[in-house]
């Protein structure tokens, strides 16, 4: 059962960076934006493709709860999880997606070598990072007096070139990942015995149980929000905060329809204005003395407003 999809904000971030890249005339800034944009696009593509394979196989199963794109914060620690599965028998499965144009070599210790035509990079063991994420997840479970087995997998997109003839344990391809989980479970007598014991003692979680666990994790999700207008300021271009929103005719009618009728007889040219401290504001002109002034939308909607100059 699918409980959470990939956050839409990632698509919005990519659109914003593309616009920044288009507007910037600073080559150094454009290079930095392009690097971040490439990383975001590659990561999102990897997450989407892996999500497709997971959803295709498991979204209709009552034995699995599927959550994509989670981020947790707890006591100064953070955990960014691409995909999280909750299974009634296995427990929690964390999935780290890898998408790269490099040729990948997975070493015996789990570290990886990414080889490009002109250079190579060594990367740390992604399972070690996932295990650190599992520690954060365990602490979240403790908050709710829960305990669950947690395992981690690293999943590569099908078109990623990997030199290893046989992938190490817990390293998989996205298109065979689900089958690998099932195979690993079948080949583990301890896991089968544990699941059987829970079933016999009536301690095996129900579909409702694991759905509730999934909802708890969704409530704990804390997405990171990046203000790209502040991060990449474009010379000569005003940010959204600095631009006065001029509403369309339809928006004006919608605003006025919500206002206190008494205020409509006192003021003219009522329209949305620049936000103040995060609150929606309106600008308007006093019919009696023509003084331009501003008030909060909620105030204008719920109370009778008086002109600050003439008291009208």
> 74 with 140, same domain?
yes
- Tokens representing 288 are 């009696």
Beta bridge partners of 267: 286
> 130 with 180, same domain?
yes
Condensed to tens digits (0 to 9), the pLDDT of residues 148-165 reads: 889 999 999 999 999 999
Give the closest residue to 263 by CA, choosing from 312, 215, 308.
312
Whether 307 is covered by a domain: the verdict is: no
With 0.75 as the threshold, say if the pTM is over it.
Answer: no
Start-to-end C-alpha separation, the chain: 60
* Residue 2: partners with Cβ closer than 8 Å, 6 or more residues away: 55, 59, 66
- Tokens representing 83 are 């995909």
Whether 165 is covered by a domain: the verdict is: yes
Beta bridge partners of 79: 72
> 29 with 152, same domain?
yes
> 45 with 71, same domain?
yes
Condensed to tens digits (0 to 9), the pLDDT of residues 245-274 reads: 445 545 554 555 556 667 777 777 777 777
Whether 50 is covered by a domain: the verdict is: yes
> 193 with 295, same domain?
no
In DSSP notation, the chain reads -EEE---THHHHHHHHHHHHHHH---HHHHHHHHHHHHHHHHHHHHHHHHHHHHHHHHTT-TTEEEEEEEEEEETTEEEEEEEEEEETTTEEEEEEEE--SSEEEE-TTS-EEEE-SS-EEEE--HHHHHHHHHHHHHHHHHHTT----EEEEEEE-TTSEE--SSPPTTEEETTTHHHHHHHHHHT-HHHHHHHHHHHHTT-SPPHHHHHHHHHHHHHH-------HHHHSPPTT---GGGSPP---HHHHHHHHHTS-HHHHTTEEEEEEEEEETTEEEEEEEETTT--EEEEEHHHHHHS----TTT--
The CA dihedral of 61, 65, 69, 71, to the nearest 10 degrees, is: -170
Give the Cα separation of 125 and 115 in Å (integer).
16
Residue 290, sorted as left (phi over 0), alpha (psi -120 to 50) or beta, turns out to be: left
- Could you list the pLDDT tens digit for every one of the 312 residues in the chain? 999 999 999 999 999 999 999 998 889 999 999 999 999 999 999 999 999 999 998 888 888 899 999 999 988 889 999 999 998 777 899 999 999 999 999 999 999 999 999 899 999 999 999 999 999 999 999 999 988 889 999 999 999 999 999 999 899 999 888 887 766 654 444 443 444 444 434 454 567 888 889 999 999 999 888 888 888 888 766 555 444 444 554 555 455 555 666 777 777 777 777 766 667 777 778 888 778 888 877 777 777 888 777 777
Whether 53 is covered by a domain: the verdict is: yes
- Which of 206, 229, 252 is the endpoint of a domain? 229
Give the Cα separation of 77 and 283 in Å (integer).
44
> 134 with 270, same domain?
no
The predicted structure's pLDDT at residue 238? 54
Whether 311 is covered by a domain: the verdict is: no
> 18 with 164, same domain?
yes
The predicted structure's pLDDT at residue 259? 63
The predicted structure's pLDDT at residue 2? 94
> 86 with 165, same domain?
yes
Residue 177, sorted as left (phi over 0), alpha (psi -120 to 50) or beta, turns out to be: alpha
Give the closest residue to 172 by CA, choosing from 157, 150, 187, 188.
157
> 90 with 191, same domain?
yes
The predicted structure's pLDDT at residue 237? 60
Residue 151: which domain range?
2-229
Whether 310 is covered by a domain: the verdict is: no
The predicted structure's pLDDT at residue 286? 80
Whether 237 is covered by a domain: the verdict is: no
> 249 with 224, same domain?
no
> 21 with 50, same domain?
yes
Give the total number of structural domains in the chain.
2
> 266 with 223, same domain?
no
């Amino acid at each position: 059962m699918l409980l959470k999809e990939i956050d839409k904000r990632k698509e919005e971030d990519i659109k914003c960076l593309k616009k920044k890249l288009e507007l910037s005339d600073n080559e150094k800034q454009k290079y930095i934006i392009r690097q971040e944009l490439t990383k975001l696009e590659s990561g999102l593509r990897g997450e989407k493709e892996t999500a497709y394979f997971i959803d295709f196989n498991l979204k209709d199963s009552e034995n699995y709860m599927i959550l994509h794109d989670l981020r947790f914060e707890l006591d100064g620690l953070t955990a960014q999880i691409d995909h999280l599965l909750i299974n009634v028998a296995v427990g929690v499965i964390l999935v780290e997606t890898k998408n790269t144009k490099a040729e990948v070599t997975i070493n015996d210790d789990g570290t990886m070598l990414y080889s490009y035509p002109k250079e190579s990079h060594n990367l740390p063991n992604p399972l070690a990072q996932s295990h650190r994420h599992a520690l954060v997840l365990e602490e979240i479970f403790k908050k709710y007096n829960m305990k669950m087995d947690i395992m981690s997998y690293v999943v590569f997109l099908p078109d990623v070139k990997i030199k290893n003839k046989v992938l190490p344990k817990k390293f998989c391809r996205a298109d065979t990942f689900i089958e690998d989980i099932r195979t690993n479970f079948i080949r583990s007598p301890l896991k089968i015995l544990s699941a059987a014991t829970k079933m016999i003692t009536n301690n095996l979680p129900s579909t409702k149980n694991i759905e509730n666990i999934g909802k708890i994790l969704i409530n704990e999700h804390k997405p990171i929000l990046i203000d790209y207008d502040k991060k990449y300021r474009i010379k000569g271009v005003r940010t959204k905060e600095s631009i006065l929103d001029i509403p369309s005719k339809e928006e004006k009618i919608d605003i006025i329809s919500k206002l206190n009728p008494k205020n409509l007889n006192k003021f003219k040219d009522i329209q949305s204005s620049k936000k103040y401290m995060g609150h929606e504001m309106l600008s308007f002109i006093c019919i009696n003395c023509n003084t331009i002034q501003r008030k909060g939308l909620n105030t204008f909607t719920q109370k009778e407003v008086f002109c600050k100059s003439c008291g009208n």
